[in-house]
Structure 1
Amino acid sequence: MKAKLGVFALVLLFLGGLWLVAAPFAVGYQPRGATYVDATINDLWLGGAIAGLSFVALVVYAADTLRELAHRGKHADA
């Protein structure tokens, strides 16, 4: 149960980070063709960092789960 909650939280963080990256353009506070304002730069860096870290954490969790399943399968034959 705790693992499912953790994965759900990581997915929400990943989606939140993606939203932060897309928000300046989707909401429209970044004028098209203009130099990036400070809020846009902040959203891009913070959103990218959040999305990147949560994606890496999800990949590490998936790799650990696959490693555990392979370990269980290897010992099931014995």
Structure 2
Amino acid sequence: MSARLGVTALALLFVTGLWLVAAPFVVGYQPRGAEFTAATVNDLWVGGALAGGSFLGLAGYAAAALRELTARGRQSAES
């Protein structure tokens, strides 16, 4: 149960980070062709860090789950 909650939280953080990166252009508060505003730069840095960190967390969880499944498979094959 707690693993499912953690993965859900990481997935939500990942989507939130992606939204922060895309929002200035989707919503339109960054004028096309203009120099990036301070808000856009902030959204890009924070959103990128949030998406990147949560992606690394999800990848780490997947790697740990794969390692556990491999260990279970080896134990099952040995017995």
Same fold (TM over 0.5): yes
AA matched with 1:29: Y
RMSD: 0.4
Match of 1:29 in 2: 29
1:64 CA drift (Å): 0.3
AA matched with 2:14: F
* Structure 2 gap ranges (5+): none
1:58 CA drift (Å): 0.2
Note the 1:8-19 alignment, pairs <5 A.
8-19=8-19
AA matched with 2:61: Y
Instruction: Quote the Cα distance in structure 2 between the aligned partners of 1:42 and 1:54.
Output: 18
> Sequence identity, in percent?
64
AA matched with 2:47: G
Match of 1:59 in 2: 59
Match of 1:20 in 2: 20
1:45 CA drift (Å): 0.3
AA matched with 2:58: L
Using the size of structure 1 for normalisation, the TM-score is 0.98
Count matched residues. 78
